[in-house]
Amino acid sequence: MPCYSINGLRPVVDPTAYVHPTAVLIGDVVIGPGCYVGPLASLRGDFGRILLEQGANIQDTCVMHGFPDSDTVIARNGHVGHGAVLHGCRIGENVLVGMNAVVMDGAVIAANSFVSAAAFVKAGFSCEAQSLVMGAPAVTRRRLSDEEVAWKLAGTREYQQLAQRCLEQMVECQPLSEVESNRPRLQPGAYRPKDDSL
């Protein structure tokens, strides 16, 4: 992966985390155990600190950045969908941020909440735990059910297994020129990681 130090600060990646080789890490970035960082994600710790806590994932083409002296945090089991932008905000424990959402400086998304796809969360926004946050500008629409929160955590567990599957099985290769007969299908639900402590 492209990884750069700046002003003497080097990114830190736990050995149980998976960072795709096309993701970019710059400066004050800390990626905790069991995290997944997808292709083309950009985590720029060149002003403020970028922190992914245990089991968090940030998917393809996401951007994390912040102003000087700020922390941009995805707490434990946070789940950030494709194309989202997080800038100087805190994504709480077990939060889902939908695809192409933007969460701005000083915003705090409380634990077990969902930010809908394409939402725009203004600077300084906050919500109560287990909130559904939607719109542009985003507002709290309702309280999530326990079933919705459990559904989200199950999806996050799939990404935690994906991180281990990528560490164990993903290798760069050349494409085939044609589809082989009886091509198998991926069975990610059948995967059992070597380390199931997460």
Cα-trace Rg, the chain: 17
Per-residue pLDDT for the chain (198 aa), expressed as one digit of tens each? 899 999 999 999 999 999 999 999 999 999 999 999 999 999 999 999 999 999 999 999 999 999 999 999 999 999 999 999 999 999 999 999 999 999 999 999 999 999 999 999 999 999 999 999 999 999 999 999 999 999 999 999 999 999 999 999 999 999 999 999 999 888 766 545 454 433
Of the candidates 157, 167, 159, 161, which has an alpha carbon nearest to the alpha carbon of residue 1? 167
Q: Quick one: tokens of 113? A: 């909440």
Identify whether 198 is part of a domain.
no
Instruction: State the CATH number of the domain containing residue 22.
Output: 2.160.10.10
Angle at 92 between CA 191 and CA 79, to 5 degrees: 30
Residue-level pLDDT at 190? 53
Residue-level pLDDT at 191? 47
Residue-level pLDDT at 185? 86
Q: Which domain holds residue 126?
A: 3-143
Q: Quick one: tokens of 64? A: 């994390």
pTM here? 0.91
Residue-level pLDDT at 188? 64
Of the candidates 133, 134, 194, which has an alpha carbon nearest to the alpha carbon of residue 168? 194
Identify whether 50 is part of a domain.
yes
Identify whether 157 is part of a domain.
no
Residue-level pLDDT at 84? 98
Distance (Å, rounded) from C-alpha 45 to C-alpha 49?
Answer: 5
What size, in residues, is the chain? Answer: 198
**Count of other CB atoms within 10 angstroms of residue 40:** 16
Residue-level pLDDT at 189? 61
Looking at the structure of the chain, the number of domains it has is: 1
Q: Are 142 and 132 in contact (CB under 8 A)?
A: yes
Angle at 54 between CA 158 and CA 156, to 5 degrees: 20
Identify whether 190 is part of a domain.
no
Residues whose CB falls within 8 Å of the CB of residue 76, separated by 6 or more in sequence, listed in order: 53, 54, 55, 56, 93, 94
Identify whether 106 is part of a domain.
yes
Beta-strand relationship, 90-91 and 71-74 = parallel
Identify whether 192 is part of a domain.
no
Identify whether 95 is part of a domain.
yes
Identify whether 149 is part of a domain.
no
